[in-house]
């Protein structure tokens, strides 16, 4: 049997939910692929983690 063919009811339901999910817009895709935006987001989450860690160790 083909790997892409769902075999159980759960697989069919999952496949239907994935097919019905909204696709990202062009603007969303550009933001996700923009290295500058990714660098800013990376720095922001690292600063937030450092804040939480330093608060726990004080």
* Residue pLDDT, tens place only, 1-57: 556 666 788 788 888 999 999 999 999 999 999 999 999 999 999 999 999 999 987
The domain ranges of the chain are 25-58
Which secondary structure element, helix H or strand E, spans residue 50, and what is its range? helix 35-57
Instruction: Please state the length of the chain.
Output: 58
Rounded CA gap, 54 and 39, in Å? 22
Q: What is the pTM of this model?
A: 0.58
């Amino acid at each position: 049997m083909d790997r892409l063919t769902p075999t159980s009811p759960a697989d069919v339901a999952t496949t239907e939910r994935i097919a019905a999910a909204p696709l990202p817009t062009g603007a969303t895709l550009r933001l996700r692929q923009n290295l500058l935006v990714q660098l800013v987001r990376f720095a922001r989450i690292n600063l937030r983690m450092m804040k939480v860690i330093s608060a726990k160790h004080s």
